[in-house]
Structure 1
Amino acid sequence: MTEPARLEVQNLTRAFDGRRVVDDVSFRVEAGQVACLLGPSGCGKSTTLRIVAGVDMQDRGRILVDGRVVCDGANRLPPEARSIGLMFQDFALFPHLPVSENVAFGLKGGFRANRARVTDLLERVHMLRHLDSYPHELSGGEQQRVALARALAPRPGVLLMDEPFSGLDERLRDGIRDETLALLKDEGTAVLLVTHEPVEAMRMADLILLMRSGRIVQQGAPYNLYNAPVDRQAAAFFSDINVLQGRVQGALTDTPFGQFLTPGMPDGCEVDIVIRPQHLRIDFDRAGQGPAPTPENGQAALARVVRARYLGRESLVEFATEHSGIALNATVPGVFLPPAGTPMWLMLRRDRCFVFPRG
């Protein structure tokens, strides 16, 4: 018999004014796993989180924690009885309580009865020296660490995190994310994290739940979502993309890079061939001069530089193809700033292209 998930959501649906903002959402989060609800603003991810937390009510569907139904429309446990911890983007620390009492707030007996648990957590988030400090005396990063310790103090089976790093200085985020992830894994807590930032989801999640218009359009490991997107929009959510448009004839589609195999697509079907900028290759040696390069399959396309910009770790070069004027972007590690108008041969990594019906 399969072990129950730490958190399981089944067919969750919620509508406001006749519009479904959460539409038949289902997923599982195992103990020790970090799952991320990812999507643009208004896609339904925060509403899903609030329903799981118990501060909003679904119209249909069930929520289970360790196999126990905590809400199914007919029966509903209050938030404090669900073994679910909450951590919000504003941290919501009590300004009149010192750090020690903030962390102990949800524990029976307060700080005196739970000194060992509180001091252990504060030590693990590097905040023990601030035991007697008040929230207004702490930086944003320090408040975030205290909020994390407070959320974990009662040992919840599930921790819900709503954009917890959005208020932090960008320079602090990576370090605090890594520290947070290490502590969550240490505790074995199942985590449901809401974010609209793909980089954050890729960095923290074991499981990404990509949402759009109230539905989960794709779920899986970060590697799978990035390398096998379900559609053009999913590909574009994780990075910039180049799009070649064409029409299928005999399972082939003509492009400036030669014909692409598009099996399974009916004749006359319009398709988008998608490639990320880092997989568009430049022939630096020829720089548009001499005969076209001969890639392993397909062909090279002649293009001219429109603009080149240095972004720090890499350079972004914007091109227009010579004959059709199609706009293409390529990223190159380090500094590469050819002048506008420079002709260059471009090649595609066909194994890294995605083909989707145009919708």
Structure 2
Amino acid sequence: MLRGVELSAPAGSIVALLGPSGCGKTTLLRCVAGLERPDGGVVRLGDRVVSGPGAFVPPERRRVGMVFQDAAVFPHLSVARNVAYGLPRRDPRRDERVAEALELVGLAGFGDRAPATLSGGQLQRVALARALAPRPAVILLDEPFSSLDAPLRAELRAEVRRVLAATDATALFVTHDQEEAFVVGDEVAVMDEGLVAQQGTPSQLYELPASRRVAAFIGDANFIAGTADEGVARTVIGPIALHGPVEGPVEVMVRPERILATEGDGGTVDAVEYFGHDAVYRVRLDGGGSLRSRVIGAPRLRPGARVALAFTGPPTVAYAAPTPPAEPATSVAAAALS
């Protein structure tokens, strides 16, 4: 369910809709496509209102192309006939448009092939070519790589970004994968419980998340208790410069790569996670709690090592510490009577 969504996509840009299952990503996409009619609000494609009070333009008249999770390629039609499906039969440039779309997605010469002879990645390229052939103003992609294995997903998402940029079409790309959203999207809109919690460039979302929920969803984050005063938070790992005005008890968001772990006193390495390109130390603090520290390449510390931790990054964000819940009145009354 959507509730008061505010989303903008600059002309010619790719905006990734990122969020967990059930947050409203696909519903929003269907409202833009005209497959769902919103109860309220306005949907504009360029200067044209396609959904709003007293107005509703049907899907076929919106100039919107859509690519689904499962490609939805017609098995009884050739590749060329699949791509031509959305083009007018009497268009004199029909064959030319099909050939252009196939070349754009790297399938030139595949027009006579049957879908059954193609790989999963090639089928998704056919679906993208079919969406692009009518030259829509907007392309909508609903988790188009979810059924592919990891190496193919990485290859195809880079290719899709190249293709979309070449067409200069505006695109909305739905995904629950943060890495995918950051690679494909010029901007990323994080959805949470039917709302757009924050929209911005990938670097803005990663470095300056607007809320603790966004910070926890985007990448890996430590939340360190501290006290903020005049732009600096005092914490167990030392002073941390803050971005934005905040005072009093806070939780400071620190990415693991911004925490330097060196031999010393302050905590103990409980575990080491090695990923090849980097490694993460899980450090148990002497005063309680734990933090994650990321290093590039092979780890130098082993479990059991004593370490000191320090913040090494630019100013980061902090959020007001949650207020402990008040004691319920019924509990107080019961105590007084006991």
- Alpha carbons of structure 1 residues 264 and 159: separation in structure 2 relative to 1, 3 Å: closer
Give the Cα separation in 1 of the matches to 2:172 and 2:229.
45
- Alpha carbons of structure 1 residues 250 and 97: separation in structure 2 relative to 1, 3 Å: closer
Q: What TM-score, normalized by structure 2, do the two folds share?
A: 0.89
**Partner in structure 1 of residue 281 of structure 2:** 317
Q: Give 3-state SS (helix, strand or coil) of 1:115's partner.
A: helix
Deviation at 1:187, TM superposition (A): 1.0
**Partner in structure 2 of residue 340 of structure 1:** 303
Give the Cα separation in 2 of the matches to 1:113 and 1:30.
30
Give the Cα separation in 1 of the matches to 2:230 and 2:170.
49
Give the aligned residue type for 2:207.
N
Q: Which moved more, 1:145-154 or 1:208-217?
A: 208-217
Contact 1:314 1:333 in 2 (8 A): yes
Give the Cα separation in 1 of the matches to 2:164 and 2:142.
15
User: Equivalent residues in 2 for 1:58-137 (5 A)?
Assistant: 58-109=38-89, 114-137=94-117
Deviation at 1:349, TM superposition (A): 2.2
Unaligned runs of 5+ in 1: 1-20, 289-300
Give the Cα separation in 2 of the matches to 1:134 and 1:38.
34
**Partner in structure 2 of residue 306 of structure 1:** 270
- Alpha carbons of structure 1 residues 313 and 250: separation in structure 2 relative to 1, 3 Å: closer
> Are 1:349 and 2:329 an aligned pair?
no
Q: What TM-score, normalized by structure 1, do the two folds share?
A: 0.84
Give the Cα separation in 2 of the matches to 1:251 and 1:347.
18
Deviations 1:46-89 (A, max 9, x none): 11111111111101011122211111142211100001111111
**Partner in structure 2 of residue 291 of structure 1:** none
Give the aligned residue type for 1:235.
A
**Partner in structure 2 of residue 230 of structure 1:** 210
Give the aligned residue type for 2:294.
T
Give the Cα separation in 1 of the matches to 2:63 and 2:216.
37
Give the Cα separation in 2 of the matches to 1:71 and 1:97.
34
Give the Cα separation in 1 of the matches to 2:28 and 2:320.
30
Give the Cα separation in 2 of the matches to 1:306 and 1:338.
10
Deviation at 1:223, TM superposition (A): 1.5
Q: Give 3-state SS (helix, strand or coil) of 2:55's partner.
A: coil
> Are 1:273 and 2:240 an aligned pair?
no
Give the aligned residue type for 1:202.
F
User: Equivalent residues in 2 for 1:220-299 (5 A)?
Assistant: 220-246=200-226, 254-259=234-239, 264-265=245-246, 267=248, 270-283=249-262, 287-288=263-264
Contact 2:276 2:297 in 1 (8 A): yes
Contact 2:246 2:319 in 1 (8 A): no
Give the aligned residue type for 1:357.
A
Give the Cα separation in 2 of the matches to 1:250 and 1:184.
45
RMSD: 2.2
Give the Cα separation in 1 of the matches to 2:229 and 2:106.
63
Unaligned runs of 5+ in 2: 323-338
**Partner in structure 1 of residue 292 of structure 2:** 329
Contact 1:99 1:134 in 2 (8 A): yes
Deviations 1:9-57 (A, max 9, x none): xxxxxxxxxxxx2111122223211011111111111111111111111
Q: Give the ranges of 4+ consecutive aligned residues of structure 1 lying more than 3 Å apart after TM superposition.
A: 110-113, 246-254, 258-267
Give the aligned residue type for 1:309.
E
User: Equivalent residues in 2 for 1:130-209 (5 A)?
Assistant: 130-209=110-189
- Alpha carbons of structure 1 residues 266 and 177: separation in structure 2 relative to 1, 3 Å: closer
Contact 1:37 1:194 in 2 (8 A): yes
Over the matched positions of the two proteins, sequence identity in percent amounts to: 37
- Alpha carbons of structure 1 residues 148 and 209: separation in structure 2 relative to 1, 3 Å: same
Q: Give 3-state SS (helix, strand or coil) of 1:347's partner.
A: strand
**Partner in structure 2 of residue 15 of structure 1:** none
- Alpha carbons of structure 1 residues 61 and 250: separation in structure 2 relative to 1, 3 Å: closer
Q: Give 3-state SS (helix, strand or coil) of 1:129's partner.
A: coil
Q: How many residues align?
A: 321
- Alpha carbons of structure 1 residues 31 and 238: separation in structure 2 relative to 1, 3 Å: same
Give the Cα separation in 2 of the matches to 1:261 and 1:189.
41
- Alpha carbons of structure 1 residues 101 and 327: separation in structure 2 relative to 1, 3 Å: same
